[in-house]
Each structure stands twice: as C-alpha cells, then as structure tokens.
Amino acid sequence: MAFVRFQNLAVYRIAEELSDAIWEIVLKWQGLPRDTIGKQLIRAADSIGANIAEGCGRFSTNDNRRFIRIARGSLLETQHWLRRAYRRQLLTAEQTAMIQSLIEQLGPKLNAYMKSIGRKSSHDSQPPEPS
C-alpha cells in the first residue's frame, strides 16, 4: 500500500471544514450546552479527520479501512449530537444548513474513499480523489 498524504484527500479536507465549523459554533455557547453537547460534538467531529489521517499512516489496506469505518462511526455520532443541538435550539437555521451541506458531501466521500482503498490505482503516486 502506497503512502497517501491525508492532507491531499478531498474527504479529509471536508472533514476538517466540518470540524472547524462546529468548533466556531460551539465556542459561542455558554454553560451547560457547551459543557455537555458542545464538548461531545467537537470530539466526535474532530475524530472524523483524525481517523482518516491515522488510516493513511497505516501500512495495510485492512488497517486503513478499519480507520475509515471508525471515521464513518464518528460522522454518525456527530450527526447525533447535531440533532440534540438542533432539538435544543442551539443552532440557527443558517448554521444547520451549512453543516448539513458538509455532511451531505462527507458521507458519500467517506464511502467512496473506503471503496478506493486497495484498488490498484490507489498505489499510484497521486491517488485518485473519490467523487
């Protein structure tokens, strides 16, 4: 398995954008919402990109796939916490729309990246970007 720079992956960049957006939102929360939902939400969102990066550093296809599966789980956990935040009226309509757009991009990208891992073309010097 060829080494892939995680920073070059579109899926990683979207995960990073989602994580940064959530960070900016939660920073404005106060007290109980920030300490409960906010901290969990940040951890879950940060875990998506962290697992993509860690998988890229593994020297086996199976390990990389395992970390992408963990990243998908973290995406679903992020969605759970976003649902809690929405139901508790912690997110504006604008924030919800922006985050939803990123999630709609990220889910399919994670699945496409998972499918691309281990393909013969992924051993090229520049791996194909998942669509």
Terminal-to-terminal C-alpha distance of the chain: 21
- Please tell me what DSSP assigns to residue 36: I
Taking 70 as the threshold, does the pLDDT of residue 129 lie above it? no
- pLDDT value, residue 120: 52
pTM: 0.86
pLDDT, the chain, mean: 90
The mean pLDDT value for 53-67 works out to 91
Taking 90 as the threshold, does the pLDDT of residue 90 lie above it? yes
The structural domains of the chain, with segments of one domain joined by +, span 6-118
Q: Hey, what CATH class is 6-118 in?
A: mainly alpha
Q: Amino acid identity, residue 96?
A: T
- pLDDT value, residue 123: 37
Q: Which residue has the higher pLDDT, 92 or 123?
A: 92
Q: Which candidate, 64, 46, 43, 47, places its Cα nearest to that of 55?
A: 64
Tell me the pLDDT band of 59, cut-offs 50, 70 and 90: confident
